[in-house]
Amino acid sequence: MSNFTAELPASMGYRMPAEWEPHEATWLSWPRREGISFPDAYDEVMPVFVQMVDVLRGSEKVRINVADHDHEHGIRFILKDIDISHVEFFQIPTNEPWCRDHGPIFIVRDKEPRAAVVDWDYNAWGGKYPPYDLDEVVPTKVAEQLKLPVYYPKLILEGGSIDVNGAGTLLTTRSCLLNPNRNANRSQAEIEQALRDYLGVRQIIWLGDGIEGDDTDGHIDDITRFVAPNVVVTALEKDPKDSNYELLQKNLELLQAVRLTDGSALEIIPLPMPPRIEREARRLPASYANFYIANKVVLLPVFGTPTDRKASSILKKCFPGRKIVPIDSRALVWGLGAFHCLTQQQPALEANDK
């Protein structure tokens, strides 16, 4: 077991870095054919996973959680047509592939130990998709492999429910983090204190509801994301008749009222929503906000619609030093997530010296 300390990370100088800060690696939890995330569509989504791993090759290491040797062998076969010299496999079994939500949250500081893991409790988005016993212990198992200390807030939280600017501000939603299916016995004040204590943030921005079709009860990574310390992109629906229109407008109003810790207003960049996408009479949570920022590239889910190009153009202006890589995610979003949901960044410690 990785060592546990009773001291709180923030008091020891730890903070959660922004996603655009340098990475050592991107972590993935590879799906299993018998898993529930891609019903009758495992083979359909495998080309998307291959492309994701391939695109990250020139950017950073890719560390993949696998169930066992047989699972790893199968993945190597799936990846046989690409260079995987940047890929490392870890025998850390998982129930499902959503590493953003069940994986480790890394925190960093300028003295030894320079990195640590926060192991939030996990209950598969309010107990919706049992079993989740394997997923629940992933952060500690990763920390054991990396020989990092672990902190246990004893609070249910998925990584997709928060977004940070690396400078003390965190974004989240009331519909998710205050949902009684997560932490029924914890008040908003207690949850905010835990975020401050374990992630080193000072300001918490609460938005309202998430988009239709999002089974997470409203993860922030489908609606609003930091792209710089004082800049966010936020999803907006242009059709007033669409069920997402009003709730996204309300979130925009909340963002417009925000003042950061230095008193400045947020710069807000609108990000279009793709047209409604359905499968088997169910609306899927397709959103361009579920992009993943790697060292040299940004993985952008696209959906074969005219709005794809506009979303790509917007992100290119936000990240001029990175290549925007649009990847068709119409099959992937059947699992009710995209690239941000699948990934978890491990910070590069060298960045702390700069």
Query: Hey, which residues are catalytic here?
Result: 341
Cα separation, 16 vs 31, in Å, equals: 27
- The structure tokens 């290491």 sit at 61
Identity of the residue numbered 145: Q
Q: What is the DSSP letter of 15?
A: B
- The structure tokens 């997923």 sit at 135
CA 124, 220, 256: angle at the middle one, nearest 5? 160
Cα separation, 220 vs 163, in Å, equals: 7
Q: Which residues of 322-339 are buried (b: 16+ CB within 10 A; e: fewer)?
A: bebbbbebbbbbbbbbbb
Q: How far apart are the first and last CA of the chain?
A: 32
Largest Cα–Cα separation, the chain: 54
Q: Which residues contact 120 (CB under 8 A, 6 or more apart)?
A: 105, 139, 153, 155, 156, 157, 158
Give the Å distances, CA to CA, from 261 to 161, 238, 264.
Answer: 21, 31, 7
Closest CA to 49 of 18, 87, 21, 22: 87
